[in-house]
Amino acid sequence: MKRNSLSSSKNQGTNQEVICGIDEAGRGPVLGPMVICGVCFLKSKLGFLTENGVKDSKKLSTKRRSELAKIIKENCKTYKVKVIGAQEIDAREKKKITLNRLEELKMAEIINELKPDVIYIDAADVIEDRFKTSIQVLLNYSPKKIISKHKADDLYPIVSASSIIAKDMRDRLIEELKKKYGDFGSGYPSDVRSTTFLREWVRKNKKAPPIARKSWETTKKIIREELYSKKITDFV
């Protein structure tokens, strides 16, 4: 579970098109990792996804998501998961690359390993085709087609499948981190438990925890307020 990359492949001799969906989970949180998944099915097997109720992971309960993740992994042709921790996300600043670019690089790595014929991607860029082109130039082979769309996890069951595996993996990783750091909630800046945990950690340890994304404005603001800002009571 703590590995940065997980994959599985079932060797099936066939000339059928291999269809791949790619999505991420945990792009926005201030705490914890981002997980990117690529999952492949033979074109003839795509009906399996809708038959089993595969849909946008955000519309599923944690329990159902976990059940479906297991079913998808057992029945897909192949899949690959990459876990990008908070420190790797922060390191992009020194490399002067955006979060979108980091996603493009990681998604391209997955595609290059899986080498599907047709790829459906949940676009992170506001311009769908730009996201597609940026990934395309990173590939070491020529797929038949790349479809890059906003809300692809809601439009295409194959992307829903990758979203489910990614979200399930992130949920599991978060639970592991909670065993070490305590209950910090979902990790999202909108979660009061998460920001309270972060603030109390900074106040006590005079620095952000290893699971915090220091490049996030939420972390920077809390560090400024807790470590560098003088309160009026300090002068009384």
Q: What is the pLDDT of residues 195-205, one digit of tens each?
A: 999 999 999 99
Q: What is the mean pLDDT of residues 48-65?
A: 86
- Cα(65)–Cα(74) distance, integer angstroms: 14
Pairwise CA distance, residues 236 & 161, whole Å = 59
**What is the pLDDT at residue 2?**
45
The 10 Å CB-count burial string (b at 16+, else e) for 61-96 is eeeebbbbbebbbeebbbbbbbbbbbebbbebeeee
Region 134-153: what's the mean pLDDT? 96
pLDDT at 14: 58
Judge whether residue 230 has pLDDT over 80. no
| Average pLDDT for 219-230 | 89
Closest CA to 174 of 184, 162, 161: 184
Cite the residue boundaries of each domain of the chain with CATH code 3.30.420.10: 5-178
Using alpha carbons only, what angle is made at residue 175 by residues 51 and 209, rounded to the nearest 5 degrees? 135
Whole-structure pTM value: 0.89
Secondary structure E strands in 74-224: 78-84, 118-122, 145-149
Q: Is the pLDDT of residue 12 over 60?
A: no
The distance from CA 186 to its chain's CA centroid, rounded to whole angstroms, is: 14
**Mean pLDDT throughout 163-180?**
96
Q: Boundaries of CATH 1.10.10.460 in the chain?
A: 180-228
Is the pLDDT at 109 greater than 60, yes or no? yes
As a whole number, the mean pLDDT across the chain is: 91
CATH 1.10.10.460 for domain 180-228: yes
C-alpha span between 171 and 99 (Å, rounded): 21
**Cβ density class 162-191: b for 16+ within 10 Å, e for less:** bbbbbbbbbbebbeebbeebeebbebbbeb
CA distances from 94 to 74, 89, 197 (A): 39, 10, 27
The distance of Cα 122 from the centroid of its chain, to the nearest Å, equals 11
The pLDDT value given to residue 234: 52
Q: Which pLDDT value is given to residue 85? A: 97
Domain 5-178 has CATH 3.30.420.10: yes
pLDDT digits (tens, 9 = 90+) for 58-98: 788 889 999 999 999 999 999 999 999 999 999 999 999 99
Beta-strand relationship, 34-42 and 18-25: antiparallel
Residue 27 — very low, low, confident or very high, per pLDDT cuts 50/70/90? very high
- Specify whether the CB–CB gap between 22 and 159 falls below 8 A: yes
